[in-house]
A and B are shown apart, each in its own frame.
Chain A
Amino acid sequence: MTTTVKARILSVLLLLTALGIWELVTPSVSNAENMTEYELLMGGAADVARVPPPSAIFVKAFEELSNPIYDNGPNDKGIGIQIGYSLYRVLTGYFLAALIALPLGFLIGMSPLAYKALDPFIQVLRPISPLAWMPLALFIIQDSEASAIFVIFICSIWPMLINTAFGVAGVREDWVNVARTHELSSMRTAFTVILPAAAPTILTGMRISIGIAWLVIVAAEMLVGGTGIGYYVWNEWNNLDLTSVIFSILVIGVVGMLLDAMFAQVQSAVQYQE
């Protein structure tokens, strides 16, 4: 048996154990008579508000996933639609950021002067929590949808910018010399030598960025409301539907994992060994 197979089996066992314990420690709804008065006051009155057992979440997941795309007004949309909204915002903000970060990072990486001149701005802007921009964005843009996209834009720009600059600046001089001795134009050098040489580092930045963007979208949607998976979580919390809350947490995790896996795929495609 290979290590991979063993690890997989162990993963499944761990999951089953955890789910089993969770299922066992979760008091079932039927024994409400045994509750203390305090418990009755806090949670017993509304069955839905207690932490649900895994079985309840499976049932919920099956319901939601068998009909992911429906729209019954603002407070009742299928999980597919909510994820779709979130992905749309993340990808729009992310690609706008890439559109600026990649060429700018390239320039910064190529020119030590530009690097020195822009570095203080990057250092100050980078540590700002993206959500801190939200009020300013709402005020200036006057549109909650665009503001959410702006927040994604601002949070995903830094890792891409910094990694691109770093990757481009670190391209081995011998490879640039190969381009020079072959009389390549600066454009051809940029695309045929520097870009592939820096691609693994650039992709690392893009991968970090998409991860951060997915983290931030949930918080941003809780703030702006209306649609999206973040809003969905918050809305279900307001409904005290913890089953849905836990289900959507899992969905957020899985979508994030898939996004990351996609970038990992691209990253391994541009990876090279010296």
Chain B
Amino acid sequence: MNKKPLLSIQNLTTRYPSPDGGEPLTVFENANFDIEEGEFVCIIGHSGCGKSTIMNVLAGLATATSGAVIMDEKEVRGPSLDRGVVFQNYSLLPWMSALSNVIFGVRARFPKWNRKRIRDHAYKHLDMVGLGKGTEKRKPSQLSGGMRQRVSIARAFAIQPKLLLLDEPFGALDALTRGTIQDELIRVWSKTGQTVFMITHDVDEAILLADRILLMSNGPYATIAESVVIDIPRPRKRADIIHHEAYYPIRNHLVEFLTTRSETVAAEDKRSGELNRHPKTVRPGIIPKQAVTEQDNPTLQFTRDIPTYSLDNGAPI
């Protein structure tokens, strides 16, 4: 264990100056968390708690007031092709066709490649998200919302970043489209083993996709309160996952956090003086007998390695 994480967020604090010169707005304070290589991490929190703000810092598009983001043992200072971003909206350049948008990314990432190789690579990734011949020549305004996000995801995967940052990529989509694209995302992700950090509002989406879910308390002074491990084996299917015995314990834990504890947890922290801490790792999906079931039942094998986590004191869980 104890190998260096791919990404490490240390005591990150962001404050916005208040417009009237009064107290600055502290969005979050002393956020700490790590992301391991190959992990799929989701972050959930109420609207306005500062998820996009954190993501912009991770992307290097904004600088935090204090604290550091360390990736591959180097501090993040500005945007880089190592971190691909899919924004909440407007990720695509509207004057370019879907194909050109992907080519835009590929050309930036692999400037030495020749025209044909860039094109093939772009087509390959459009195919991967189910956008084949016929739609690639259309402009974003001629595509549906779902297709647009598919193109954004194709471009993000095509540049093969070390870390993929997704800011509510399916936020604007209807439930059906959302489901199909989630499946596609899982498929592409399991093929590439990409490390992903994704913001979402949707508890079920997070459980379906993530290895681990970070829970963010309400702002101002938001913190990363908990890190919830999703102990549900992969491959996961949307239809089957709800029958898994860990599903409802996990879901209830998340919902309970969002409905009640997200408001109070920051105040509790203040009272107990417990600042600068790492999020507490919880595994609501582990029911004592399950450890036995897992070994005995070959169909419940994990298909990916789930990294192990430790608490602040270094003790393994």
Name A's B-contacting residues (CB within 8 A): 172, 174-175, 177-178, 180-184, 192-193, 196-197, 199, 270, 272-274
Contact = CB atoms under 8 A, between A and B. Distances in A.
B109 A196 contact: no
A196 B94 CA distance: 10
A181 B141 contact: no
Contact of A182 (B81, B90, B95, B96): B81
B141 A183 contact: no
B252 to A, nearest CB: 36
A197 B95 contact: yes
A181 B83 CA distance: 7
A50 B83 CA distance: 78
Given A172-B90, A174-B90, A273-B141, A182 B59 contact: no
B94 A182 contact: no
Contacts of B139: 272-273
Contacts of B105: 182
Q: Is the interface of A mostly helix, strand, loop or mixed?
A: helix
A274 B94 CA distance: 6
Interface of B: 59-61, 78-81, 83-85, 87, 89-91, 93-96, 104-105, 108-109, 139, 141, 159
Contacts of B108: 182-184
A272 B139 CA distance: 9
Nearest to B95: A272
Contacts of A177: 59, 61, 79, 85, 87
Contacts of A270: 95
Nearest to B78: A180
A172 B139 CA distance: 17
Given A174-B90, A181-B79, A182-B109, 7 more contacts: A180-B60, A181-B60, A181-B80, A181-B85, A184-B108, A272-B95, A273-B141
B110 to A, nearest CB: 11
A196 B100 CA distance: 13
A170 to B, nearest CB: 14
5 contacts: A174-B91, A175-B93, A181-B59, A182-B105, A183-B81
